[in-house]
Amino acid sequence: MTAPWLSVVGLGEDGLEGLSPAARALVESAQVLVGGERHLAMLPVGDGRERLTWPRPLLDLLPALEARRGRAVCVLATGDPLCYGVATTLLRRFAPEECLILPAPSAFALACARLGWPLERVETLTLHGRPLELVLARLYPGARVLALSDGAATPAEVAELLVGHGLGAARLVVLEHMGGPRERRLEATAEAWGERSVAAFNTLAVEIPAEAEMLAPSRLAGLPDRAFLGDGQMTKREVRAATLAALGPWPGALLWDVGAGCGSVAIEWLRSDPRCRAVAVEDKASRIATIAANAAALGVPGLKILEGRAPAALAGLDLEGRERPDAVFIGGGLDGAGLFEACWAALKPGGRLVANVVTLEGEARLLALQGERGGELTRMAVARAEPIGPFRGWRPLMPVTQWSVTKPREATP
């Protein structure tokens, strides 16, 4: 087994004084010290050891450390280095047996201790270098959210975002420099936050009132159709729920939504778990901005959007070096020559493909494919109660035929 040469030591606001004897020994014995300016400023000066300041982008640190492999290198981090921290990046390059990681309490653990919130009942995320809209997917009546801020402006920006979504009564608590002599707490509702001065190093807590009314609080598939902007080209609520059930998202899985329309299926896939990933492929330029707007409004701004007509556009995904999808949804029909073949070839063995059609020609194509590849065929006919003069009656939606199939582990092209 390789002996650890790369150590990662988590620091609190109390600096070196708060380290355990083991962590202190790693810092003192290191030949190379790595950290942010704030971390390195905690160390004694003039000891002659090599010091590296975190570069931008952080990935540029990896080759610098690789060049020092075998020397005693100590990376200084804030709190828990594996909680949205630098150790996550380091483990992309270096094997776990090469690293020794000694965490300090995370900002989330400290914040929960200050607020009296059980951590297992809290939604956590980082907004450092990420879109604010990520908060929106974590919100529901009674939600408690902890977010690592990007800087001093983050709390005011989140407050404005909440007010814009009708959540001005949400409670905001900013916790600055937790665990040190400069620790401070600020609290107000989102609508009353105003121009409060906040330290750049802060953690933000958000508490949504239990009685809050929200359009999209659930992460289960089947959001109301009105939750999405669009030109009417969308997989309707009832069919969308069945489609997501057939696709079966799981944490970390990648979906290609081919013929995305307003992006509803890809967006609900992403909302099912923050670790899910998706690419929406759409050939109509007028819908690209709509997909992006829907993704941001529903808290999944990380949705990748590819403009182009499948199957030709799918080659662009390969050219960009993206990994093969775990699931593919074809929602725009199967009339494109070679569309199914390209999606099937790209799909990982064991992955799922779901196709919905509404035309007789599309249905004939699904019948043929089901005969060749197996899988399940389902026909969905939905009717909604709507006003008819002073009365109400059933107005049917166009029936949808769905084919769901799993690619065999030993699949033929």
The CATH number that applies at residue 85 is 3.40.1010.10
Q: Residue range 341-349: average pLDDT?
A: 94
Residues 262 and 339 in one domain: yes
DSSP code, position 332: S
For the four alpha carbons of 117, 120, 123 and 128, in that order, the dihedral sign comes to positive
Produce one character per residue of 245-275: b if its CB has 16 or more CB atoms within 10 Å, e if not.
ebbebeeebbbbbbbbbbbbbbbbbbbbebe
Percent of the chain with pLDDT over 70: 98
Residues 352 and 254 in one domain: yes
The whole-chain average pLDDT of the chain stands at 93
Q: How far apart are CA 337 and CA 309, in angstroms?
A: 11
Q: What is the pLDDT of residue 318?
A: 59
Residues 377 and 249 in one domain: yes
Please check the confidence at residue 353 and state whether its pLDDT lies above 80: yes
Residue 213 pLDDT class (50, 70, 90 cuts)? very high
Residues 86 and 112 in one domain: no
Q: What is the pLDDT of residue 232?
A: 84
Q: Residue range 214-229: average pLDDT?
A: 91
Tens of pLDDT along 357-389? Answer: 999 999 999 999 999 999 999 999 999 999 999
Residues 293 and 313 in one domain: yes
Tens of pLDDT along 49-90? Answer: 999 999 988 899 999 999 999 899 999 999 999 999 999 999
Number of C-alpha atoms within 13 angstroms, CB side, residue 9? Answer: 28
3-class secondary structure, 346 = helix
Using alpha carbons only, give the angle 294, 296, 300 rounded to the nearest 5 degrees: 100
Q: What is the pLDDT of residue 319?
A: 42
216 inside domain = no
Q: What is the pLDDT of residue 222?
A: 94
Residues 240 and 351 in one domain: yes
Choose one of 159, 176, 207: the last residue of a domain.
207
Helix axes 339-346, 360-373, angle to 10 degrees: 40
386 inside domain = yes
Residue 1 pLDDT class (50, 70, 90 cuts)? low
Residue 2 pLDDT class (50, 70, 90 cuts)? low
Count structural domains, the chain. 3
The answer to pTM > 0.95 is no
Q: Residue range 151-178: average pLDDT?
A: 97
Residues 333 and 250 in one domain: yes
Q: How far apart are CA 263 and CA 266, in angstroms?
A: 6
